[in-house]
Amino acid sequence: MKPVTVTQVNEYIAKKLRDDLNLHGLVVEGEISGLSRSGQHYYLTLKDANSQIRAAIWGQNAAKIDMSLVENGKKIVAVCDISPYSKNGTYSLSIRHIEVAGEGDLAAEFNRIKEKLEKEGLFDKKYKKPIPAFPYRVGVVTSSTGAAIEDIRKIITAKNDLTDIIIFPTAVQGVGAVRSICENIKLANRLSESGIHIDTLIVGRGGGSPEDLAAFNDEEVARAIFASDIPVISAVGHEIDYSISDFVADLRAETPTAAADIAVMDTFKLREDIESSRKMLITSAEQKISSERRILDSGSALLGANIRSKISEARSALDKAVIMLTENDPRSIFSKGYAAVTKDGAVIPGITDIVKGEEYRIIMTDGSFTARVTEVDPE
């Protein structure tokens, strides 16, 4: 068995950890210890009675977290993702939301719904529909005024001049957001069934606090996504944000911008590829035709030479035959003074066949005459 390198082992384990959905959106309870800060980033250990694990709060997340809750000895509930570091073969937790232990209603509800839907099989890969590679029409369920829709429009139109975009203006946070998201997912499916076919549906919003993203963790929204006949790309928040919608959708995109990039093909590049292939095909055909023409010309020349050789041989044989016939023609012999003696149309071959007193016909080159034999002189 061929050995693997330490790097290959670490990278393999890191990939397995990153791909495990159960290690994203973890709700972990523990006590903070060993808190330190480097620039905008915070490093700490979460521990309980038996174990401990390293964790970090990156600057982009620290800006959205109430950092007054982060102090040594404080017991917290953290929403976090696994963060493997393949170089050292270690891993830690990346914290993106914190609540004081005992006050984590939002995190607890997230965990409850996630476990419930996972047990029901709504996250199962066998239900994931493939995202069409060549969509004619893409639907977008999001706010019509946020940055997300502008990013989606910009990416799609920059890559593709064939795909149509249908926007379903949707409330994505606050009172009525859950109902608005569900109704627009259903509306998109009814529209698609009515004849205005929608190939792909992007459902999501831009970044925000856990409270802002709460609608996409709702059980009703998750079930509406699961029930959609149109393949759904979930695009909620930033790269570090995971929602229930991400787990139940056919595909998760890290951001709305990434969702737009995934949803459509690059028609401009496709045209370039087609034109390049067309030119290559023409060049190949021309080379093939030129090659076949050379072979044909060579074959024609060889065939012509063979025919001329055969004709020459036939002409030579004919000339020889003519000479032979000419030389063997009785008339040629007659021209030299010889004559043929015949009797009743038959040639008399020798003197012994001549009878004295009989008449014979003598044929010469320019005529014939009849003669009576008066004397026979055998040799």
Together in a domain, 168 and 255:
yes
Look at residue 230 and tell me if it is in a domain: yes
Together in a domain, 141 and 255:
yes
- Say if CB 187 and CB 166 are below 8 A apart: no
- Say if CB 153 and CB 165 are below 8 A apart: yes
At residue 37, the 3 state secondary structure works out as strand
Together in a domain, 136 and 263:
yes
Together in a domain, 260 and 147:
yes
Cα–Cα distance for residue pair 203/180, rounded to 1 Å: 12
Together in a domain, 351 and 366:
yes
Look at residue 277 and tell me if it is in a domain: no
Query: Alpha helices of the chain — where are they, by DSSP H?
Result: 6-19, 59-62, 105-120, 147-159, 177-193, 219-227, 244-248, 256-263, 267-328, 330-334
Together in a domain, 173 and 294:
no
Strand order in the sheet with 164-169: 164-169, 137-142, 200-205, 232-236, 251-252
Look at residue 120 and tell me if it is in a domain: no
Look at residue 113 and tell me if it is in a domain: no
> What's the start-to-end Cα distance of the chain, in Å?
113
From the list 38, 56, 54, 37, the residue with the least C-alpha distance to 46 is: 54
DSSP 8-class letter at 146: S
User: What are 57's strand-pairing partners?
Assistant: 42
Together in a domain, 133 and 33:
no
Cα–Cα distance for residue pair 243/236, rounded to 1 Å: 7
Together in a domain, 148 and 210:
yes
Together in a domain, 288 and 346:
no
Domain count of the fold of the chain: 4
Look at residue 110 and tell me if it is in a domain: no
At residue 255, the 3 state secondary structure works out as coil
Look at residue 378 and tell me if it is in a domain: no
Together in a domain, 146 and 249:
yes
CB atoms within 10 A of CB 339: 13
Cβ-Cβ contacts under 8 Å for 272 (sequence gap 6 or more): none
Amino acid at 193: E
Task: Return the pLDDT at 351.
Answer: 80
Helix (H) or strand (E) holding 190: helix 177-193
- Domain stop point among 71, 103, 135: 103
- Domain stop point among 268, 294, 315: 268
Cα–Cα distance for residue pair 125/291, rounded to 1 Å: 53
At residue 139, the 3 state secondary structure works out as strand
From the list 371, 337, 344, 106, the residue with the least C-alpha distance to 213 is: 106
Together in a domain, 263 and 132:
yes
Cα-atom radius of gyration of the chain, to the nearest Å?
51
Backbone angles phi, psi at 337, to 5 degrees: 100, 0
256: domain CATH number? 3.40.50.280
60 burial (CB, 10 Å; 0-12 / 13-18 / 19+) is middle
Cα–Cα distance for residue pair 96/280, rounded to 1 Å: 52
Question: What are the Cα distances from residue 58, in Å, to 51, 99, 159?
Answer: 23, 17, 33
Output the tens digit of pLDDT for each of the chain's 379 residues. 788 899 888 888 888 888 888 888 888 988 888 889 999 999 999 988 788 999 999 988 888 888 888 888 788 888 899 999 888 889 999 998 888 765 455 667 788 899 999 999 999 999 999 999 999 999 999 998 888 899 999 999 999 889 999 999 999 988 889 999 999 999 999 999 999 999 999 999 988 777 788 899 999 999 999 999 999 999 998 877 789 999 999 999 999 999 999 999 988 888 888 888 988 999 888 898 888 888 888 888 888 888 888 888 888 888 888 777 776 666 666 666 677 788 887 887 778 778 778 887 877 777 878 888 788 777 6
Cα–Cα distance for residue pair 111/113, rounded to 1 Å: 6
- Domain stop point among 69, 103, 137: 103
At residue 211, the 3 state secondary structure works out as coil
Domain residues for the domain of 187 are 126-268
- Structure token pair of residue 271: 């045209």
- The number of C-alpha atoms within 13 Å of 138 and in the hemisphere containing its C-beta is 29
Together in a domain, 85 and 138:
no
E strands of 221-338, at which residues? 232-236, 251-252
169: left (phi over 0), alpha (psi -120 to 50) or beta: beta
At residue 169, the 3 state secondary structure works out as strand
Look at residue 111 and tell me if it is in a domain: no
Cα–Cα distance for residue pair 231/70, rounded to 1 Å: 41
Helix (H) or strand (E) holding 293: helix 267-328
User: What are 191's strand-pairing partners?
Assistant: none
Look at residue 377 and tell me if it is in a domain: no
